Chains A and B, each alone.
Chain A
Amino acid sequence: MPEETDDQLAARLRQALAAQAASVEVTDAAARVARARVRAGRRRVPSWALAGVAAALIVALVAGVGFVAWRNHTEVGPSGPSPSASESATASGSASAQPSGTPTVTSEVTPTIGLTVVSLPSTYRFHSMTSDGPLAVLDEVGGANDSLAADVVLVDLAHGTRKVLATAAAGYHPYQPVISGGNVAWVEGRYSNPDFSGPCEWHIVVMNLSSGQTRTVASGVSSPRPNTPGDGGGAQYAPIDLDGTQLAYAVQDTTAARPLGWQIRILDLVTGQIQRSISTESEIDGVGLSGGTLAYSEILVDAAGGSTPPRLMISTPDHPTPALVTDDGGLASFRQGRLAWGDSTGRVWTAVGPSWTPGPVTAPASGAGEPAASADQVSYSVPGTAGGPSSLWLWDAKTGTSTLVPGSDGALISGLGGGWITWAGGVGDSVTVSGMSLP
């Protein structure tokens, strides 16, 4: 008997959950809402207290280097030998989890200059971020009205500023901005239906940060696919990555033999020429480009329409035919020749050429994710334990050890490169982008 497809399984699940939901009887809704309203009123924090907290935060941020020193003092002790892994995690007083199985965990990263924190509106919801030195670019999912936003935001952590870099064309939403070598690229997409269904029309925009000029370098339309995993068959935007003046992007490219196929192209932004193109077997989960080497992850669909974990592939200028790196890895970052990804068990991996042999950064099921790579380092976030905030860790290829990044409570996504580590996240209602220069 053939195995049911994702759609068939989802339909069974819907029926079962509908029956479960219907079995919950509710009789006192008005009383419960009234109680919530009363309790909410009692708990409100007085405005003078909020003002005091805000003032304290401003003082702490202005202190800069002193702020970091203060954190080191309170979290790992003012002097003496570096604490052990357990001491570091315990003494921090926070719920930042030591990533289980990390080979060796030392004390916190010591920045060469102070921690910089830039606040964003509390309604901001991060989707993706990349950084180059102190410059980070982000797109937003959410905002005051919970719709997809239209802005690409640039945060300059050297100067502690943020600004809207560009606003997408009317009706379009920016997606997946990447920054490299003084250029920023992003995809602007628009679904044909307001509920993000139907075909997705997209174009790729590149901005030169020095001149502020933008240009559209590619465009296309993605169609919904039946039986594609995870996204319910919805159309995908074109995944992209940028490395200096080279842009990698993917377009749907189906044949009878590759009904879910895509084609990944490497575009030279100076000459406007396609330098290389790779045909893939299935849907693209992520694309990375570094020094002319292309990495991508694709999701294969089995005969029953079931999904598999993404497989990670590599194509170098010398050996353009794609080679398998791992059959369980969704590409997260490819920078300065280093790959970093997470597998389906919650473990972070890394690899470098020419062998591209995967090496573990964390232990299995550590829960770590959203890694970012640079030549010799990998950053990744670890969910908080006991309901606490997540934290950011930095793995060093030379020592094989991970260190806790100070002040990274609530970090969700990060970026590495140009001698900086940056991250975005927040605790409570705060939404921040932070960063520091690395030794």
Chain B
Amino acid sequence: MEVASIETAPTELLGDDRLEQLMVERYPDLLRLAFLILRNLPEAEDATQVALERAWRSRAQMRSAARAPFWLRRIVVREAVRLRSSPWRVLRSPIQLTEVEPPGRHPVAPDRAERLDVVRAFERLSVDQRAAVVLHHYLEYPIADVALMVDAAPETVRSRLRLAMRRLREELRDA
């Protein structure tokens, strides 16, 4: 899930076929993003599916290939947050995933037990806080971009990040 996701010339315009191809290429990235926010794979699949539908319906607004990855991620983030807020969502049991080490990234991995502590603490954050943490601390988007993605003021994003980090500390201290 690299951030430097602009892989086409900035001036390239997206046709329907190219957009569909881009969606297929980006689907794993988008699904993983939704999963990190929702912590539930079936819900993440639902959110990603609905987000892709929304993206396709509003594709006239996005004809720049350079901005398409950002645009797709933004729709997925919003759909994930919206899904978690909806009373109509079907509650499902979270699926336990087998954790594997991503190839070639983070050569000094922390102890697995310690990592699970971090994950458990992360799961206790609100969905808004998780979205902000994933976008800023994991995907390394600047605050202004995170604000765009979650449709909130930058000050709000900063506040969510502050509260999230404080809560993570508290949870990890207790653990």
Contacts and interface: CB of A to CB of B under 8 A. Distances in A.
A24 B138 contact: no
A413 B147 CA distance: 14
Interface string A1-39: 001001001101111111111111010011011111101
Contacts of B41: 24
A230 interface: yes
Contacts of B80: none
A232 B136 contact: yes
Contacts of A26: 27-28, 31-32
A22 B102 contact: yes
Contact of B142 (A146, A197, A342): A197
B36 A196 contact: no
Contacts of A43: 53, 57
Given A15-B115, A33-B20, A232-B143, A387 B151 contact: no
B interface majority secondary structure? helix
A199 interface: no
Q: Which one of A23, A29, A195, A230 has the greatest number of beta carbons of chain B within 10 Å?
A: A230
A interface majority secondary structure? mixed
A148 B145 CA distance: 9
Interface in A104-142: 123, 125-128, 141-142
Interface string B126-159: 0000000110111000111101100111111011
B52 interface: yes
A385 B110 CA distance: 39
Q: Which one of A3, A20, A40, A369 has the greatest number of beta carbons of chain B within 10 Å?
A: A20
Given A33-B23, A142-B148, A39 B53 contact: yes
A344 interface: yes
B92 interface: no
Given A16-B115, A16-B118, A18-B102, A127 B153 contact: yes
Contacts of B143: 196, 230-232, 234
Contact of A32 (B27, B114, B142): B27
B97 interface: yes
B56 A20 contact: no
Q: Using C-beta atoms within 8 Å of the partner chain, give the interface range for chain B.
A: 35 or more
Contacts of A36: 23, 49, 52-53, 55-56
Interface string A238-278: 00000000000000000000000000000000000000000
Contact of A6 (B116, B147, B165): B165
A37 B74 CA distance: 18
A370 interface: yes
A232 B157 CA distance: 12
Interface string B36-50: 100001001100110
Given A19-B100, A24-B41, A344 B163 contact: yes
A293 interface: no
Nearest to A95: B87
A230 B53 contact: no
A121 B101 CA distance: 44
A386 B83 CA distance: 10
A30 B119 CA distance: 30
A89 to B, nearest CB: 15
B162 A229 contact: yes
B115 A19 contact: yes
Given A306-B165, A309-B162, A20 B154 contact: no
A219 B71 CA distance: 34
Given A9-B168, A24-B32, A127-B153, A15 B110 contact: yes
A116 to B, nearest CB: 23
B137 A230 contact: no
A145 interface: yes
A307 interface: yes
Contacts of B162: 229-230, 299, 307, 309, 344
Closest 6 CB pairs of A and B: A36-B52, A29-B27, A230-B158, A40-B56, A22-B102, A26-B28
28 contacts: A9-B168, A9-B169, A10-B137, A10-B165, A13-B138, A18-B138, A19-B100, A19-B101, A20-B36, A21-B1, A21-B33, A24-B41, A26-B32, A36-B55, A43-B53, A126-B153, A127-B154, A141-B144, A142-B148, A196-B145, A230-B143, A231-B143, A307-B162, A370-B153, A386-B87, A387-B86, A412-B152, A412-B153
